[in-house]
Amino acid sequence: MSSGVETSLTVLRILGMTKTADKIIVALDVRSSNEALALVDQLRDQISFFKIGLQLYTAEGPEIVRAVLATGAKVWLDLKLYDIPNTVARAVESASHLGVHMLTIHLSGGGEMIRAAAGARANQLVILGVTVLTSATEQTLREIGIADKVADQVLRLARLGTQAGIDGLVASPHEIKTLRSEFGDKIKIAVQGIRPSWAEPGDQKRFMTPRHAIEAGADYIGIGRPITAHQNPRRAVQRILEELSARS
* Spatial separation of the C-alpha atoms in residues 150 and 30, rounded to whole Å: 29
* Spatial separation of the C-alpha atoms in residues 156 and 176, rounded to whole Å: 14
Please report the pLDDT score of residue 207 as a whole number: 61
Please report the pLDDT score of residue 146 as a whole number: 93
* Spatial separation of the C-alpha atoms in residues 226 and 240, rounded to whole Å: 10
The pTM of this model reads 0.86
Phi, psi of 193 (to 5 degrees): 70, 35
Please report the pLDDT score of residue 135 as a whole number: 82
* Spatial separation of the C-alpha atoms in residues 53 and 32, rounded to whole Å: 12
Please report the pLDDT score of residue 145 as a whole number: 94
Mean pLDDT by 10 residues, the chain (248 residues): 40 48 93 96 95 96 98 97 98 97 97 98 96 88 93 95 97 89 94 76 62 91 90 93 74
Cβ-contact 142, 98 below 8 angstroms? no
Domains of the chain: 21-245 (3.20.20.70)
Strand partners, 190: 170, 220
- In sequence order, what are the residues at sequence separation of 6 or more whose Cβ sits closer than 8 angstroms to the Cβ of residue 8? none
Active-site entry in 80, 149, 177, 186: 80
Phi, psi of 129 (to 5 degrees): -100, 130
Please report the pLDDT score of residue 204 as a whole number: 46
Residues recorded for the chain: 248
80 in active site: yes
Strand partners, 217: none
* Spatial separation of the C-alpha atoms in residues 185 and 75, rounded to whole Å: 22
For residue 242, the tally of other CB atoms under 10 A from its CB is 11
* Secondary structure class of 192 (helix, strand, coil): coil
